[in-house]
Chain A
Amino acid sequence: MRLDIRWPIGLMFAVLGALLAVYGGVTLGRPGTAPTGVPVNLMWGLVMLAFGLVMLAGAKRGGRAG
């Protein structure tokens, strides 16, 4: 397969992470958005965004090496 799978994985997680992080940031402090007291949308969104970017960086480096 000539498509490096890290491209779709990286893109999807970057998009989903950004979406959750922005939503979590905007709704921060509103009732019901942090049922456990942890702003999980913002935190987990940033983790997913970081994972997505690492995958994209790997795909880019792999593409150049190939």
Chain B
Amino acid sequence: MTHFTSLHWIDYAVMLVYFAFVIGIGVVLKRYVLSSTDFFLSGRSLPAWVTGLAFISANLGAQEVIGMGASGAKYGIATSHFYWVGAIPAMVFVGIFMMPFYYGSRARSVPEYLKLRFDEKTRGFNAISFATMTVFSSGISLYAMGKLLNLLVGWSFGTSILIAAGIVLVYTFLGGLGSAIYNEVLQFFLIVFGFAPLAFLGLRDVGGWSGLQERLVSVAQGNGFGDGAYTQSWTYMGHSASNPVGVEWFGLVMGLGFVLSFGYWCTDFLVVQRAMAANSMSAARRTPLIAAVPKMLMPFIVILPGMLALVVGPAPRPPQDVAATPAVATPSPAADGRRLTAAVAPAEATLASNEGNAAVEAMVRAPRPQASVERGRGIIPPKIDPVTGEPMRDGRGRLVLDYDLATPMMLVRFFPAGLLGLGLTALLASFMSGMAGNVTAFNTVWTCDIYQSYIRPGMPDGHYLKMGRIATVGGVAISLAAAYVAASFNNIMDLLQLVFAFVNAPLFATFALGMFWKRATGHGAFIGLVSGTLAAAVHHGLTLPAGAHVGVKGGYFGVLQTFPSELAQTFWTAIIAWTTCFVVTIAVSLLTKPRTDEDMKGLVYSLTPIQKDAAEPWYRRPASLGAVVLVAAVALNIIFW
């Protein structure tokens, strides 16, 4: 058993300082939590810049940091579409048009808004599916973290996930949403400071952006694309076969830019909850707009390292390293002996998947010429077949790369002891921030939308505060269990992605109609949601991405169509789900009796007084902030066209 590097005392010191601060924040904030509103909505007392940074940080989980690095290596700069097309327009929309209803309706959660606007069954459907998704997604985040730390530094899977979950539990249990939000802001800065030097040092190594462009030409040509396919985001989007993403511009704009993006940013309570904790309506509306500014710049921190990992070479090794390169060695605490040494890992490490370990061994052991074949590409190792222990190959005999290791390998390659501790702490912070976001959203939806509505209504406030804390412990416990479930199933992550597409995409149609069309009824919303989800299942069951096997990837009803990539299939599944929900909701609503206008004041656009922002200086008005953000996003798209 091998791992990629070992840590020095300074790396542990950096981690301990961070742990002390996150727990300290929970302890200090505990004294301010006196009611259930304090616990679930942080007493609606936070300024816009704090909720704005928490808004982006709750979304900046490990799936984002590791996953966007992986996509950067796999798809190149086109990954930026997830930001400049798939996030910014929706964030501007939620701030300007949707936040007045969420914040103004005084609902404590997104499902509660659905109850106020539609009816109990629509709320129940959303509350249950959302609560299930949050604990599973935080469990999968934990699993990914345990696996990665085991692989990188040899920590035991069980111990890593217990410590991370324990720390998240302590601060969310004590301080509720306020504590989660404060820590998210802290984590946001830590992630920026921990990863920013990576892009800088990597770019310096390859000769800047132009050097990276030159080197990626051979990668593009090797994969059968035009020269700039990895460094130009739109030029190759004319046809799905001419870019690494495997999607043409229409599928991208409709599937990602419209349905999936608006579905997530406008209806996912995990992020909306942050804005609902703001201290005024104006601050709530500015929350997503303020968040959009750092969000727009994130590709430079999270995607660039992945692209760089494709083309940088291994570190030049000092003489001491060359002398100390046995096949298996104990980790040396000396800074100069840390790079790519193989070490004996703890026995529990076998719990996590062995992917990548054999690759490291190959990198260390293999003589040079063979190593260049088995190494993968740049510093990204090949994916290892867990059964045979051999590097995996695709249908054409090419090595399959383990893209998830792109960013972690960059940390090991470029950071010395000290900064490596900071980088790993930033990675931990991203896992914990994503998990805390899920746990606080779960405890609110469980307590307010399930427990208080269906199990024990009409109890005093203190009872629900207590239940909120119990739900926090329960949420963390289920997450831990889900992490172990994830460890024993290969495909659970794919399955979860699928569930997200099934649940979030139709939900946006329900919200769009609910907020902007007063004729939409509860029966229409519920039947529309259920049909949208079913339509997603049918479309997914009849299609398959190229090269995939029938099963969790689709095709279980028979294969009618094959997509060039999984992303293309997901985008089209989302488009179908959204359209079905939209059409069915309208049809059923027209056949059923609407509620009176009086009942829907503050819940529907046409029945709510328009927000007057004239009293604010122009730079604080949501509309002008939104315009600035949109112009900047268009400029970035043009620069990297």
In residues 1-39 of chain B, which contact A (Cβ within 8 Å)?
A: 10, 13-14, 17-18, 21, 24-25, 28-29, 32
Let me know if B414 is at the binding interface, CB within 8 A: yes
Q: Are A12 and B186 in contact (CB under 8 A)?
A: yes
**What's the dominant secondary structure at chain A's contact region?**
helix
Contacts of B178 in A (CB 8 A): 1
Q: Are A16 and B422 in contact (CB under 8 A)?
A: yes
Bound complex: CA A48 to CA B193 (Å)? 8
Contact with A along B167-202 (1 / 0, CB 8 A): 000000000001000100110010001000100010
Return A58 CB to nearest CB of chain B, in Å: 11
Let me know if A63 is at the binding interface, CB within 8 A: no
Q: Which of A8, A16, A33 contacts B417 (CB 8 A)?
A: A33
Q: Which residue of A lies closest to B204 (CB)?
A: A36
Q: Are B21 and A8 in contact (CB under 8 A)?
A: yes
Q: Are B318 and A32 in contact (CB under 8 A)?
A: yes
Q: Are A2 and B21 in contact (CB under 8 A)?
A: no
Contacts of A35 in B (CB 8 A): 315-316, 339, 413-416
Pick out which of these stretches binds chain A: B42-50, B229-237, B580-588.
B42-50
Supposing A27-B335, A32-B339 touch, asked if A11 and B417 sit within 8 A by C-beta, the answer is no
Supposing A2-B32, A27-B335, A35-B339 touch, asked if A13 and B419 sit within 8 A by C-beta, the answer is no
Bound complex: CA A1 to CA B50 (Å)? 11
Return B20 CB to nearest CB of chain A, in Å: 9
Return B204 CB to nearest CB of chain A, in Å: 7
Contact with B along A11-51 (1 / 0, CB 8 A): 11101100110011001001111111010110011011001
Let me know if A3 is at the binding interface, CB within 8 A: yes
Q: Are A30 and B182 in contact (CB under 8 A)?
A: no
Return B578 CB to nearest CB of chain A, in Å: 38
Let me know if B336 is at the binding interface, CB within 8 A: yes
Q: How large is the interface on A (under 10, 10 to 19, 20 to 34, 35 or more residues)?
A: 20 to 34
Contacts of A57 in B (CB 8 A): none
Contacts of A16 in B (CB 8 A): 14, 17-18, 422
Contacts of B46 in A (CB 8 A): 1
Q: Are A40 and B197 in contact (CB under 8 A)?
A: yes
Return B424 CB to nearest CB of chain A, in Å: 13
Q: Are B197 and A8 in contact (CB under 8 A)?
A: no
Q: Are B10 and A23 in contact (CB under 8 A)?
A: yes
Q: Which residue of B lies closest to A48 (CB)?
A: B193
Bound complex: CA A51 to CA B192 (Å)? 12
Let me know if B337 is at the binding interface, CB within 8 A: yes
Q: Which residue of B lies closest to A55 (CB)?
A: B189
Bound complex: CA A47 to CA B192 (Å)? 12
Let me know if B205 is at the binding interface, CB within 8 A: yes
Contacts of A11 in B (CB 8 A): 21
Return A26 CB to nearest CB of chain B, in Å: 10
Bound complex: CA A2 to CA B38 (Å)? 12
Bound complex: CA A44 to CA B416 (Å)? 12
Q: Which residue of B lies closest to A12 (CB)?
A: B21
Return A22 CB to nearest CB of chain B, in Å: 10
Q: Which of A1, A9, A38, A45 contacts B201 (CB 8 A)?
A: A38
Contact with A along B382-417 (1 / 0, CB 8 A): 000000000000000000000000000000011111
13 A-B contacts (beta carbon < 8 Å): A1-B32, A1-B46, A5-B182, A8-B182, A8-B186, A9-B186, A31-B335, A32-B339, A32-B417, A33-B416, A33-B418, A40-B201, A44-B193
Q: Which residues in B have some Cβ–Cβ distance to A below 8 Å?
A: 10, 13-14, 17-18, 21, 24-25, 28-29, 32, 42-43, 45-46, 50, 178, 182, 185-186, 189, 193, 197, 201, 204-205, 315-316, 318, 320, 334-339, 413-419, 422
6 nearest A-B residue pairs (beta carbon): A32-B336, A41-B418, A31-B336, A32-B335, A12-B21, A31-B318
Q: Which residues in A have some Cβ–Cβ distance to B below 8 Å?
A: 1-3, 5, 8-9, 11-13, 15-16, 19-20, 23-24, 27, 30-36, 38, 40-41, 44-45, 47-48, 51
Seed contacts A3-B32, A13-B193, A31-B336; 14 additional CB < 8 Å A-B pairs? A1-B178, A5-B186, A8-B28, A8-B182, A11-B21, A20-B14, A35-B414, A35-B415, A35-B416, A38-B204, A40-B415, A41-B416, A45-B418, A51-B193
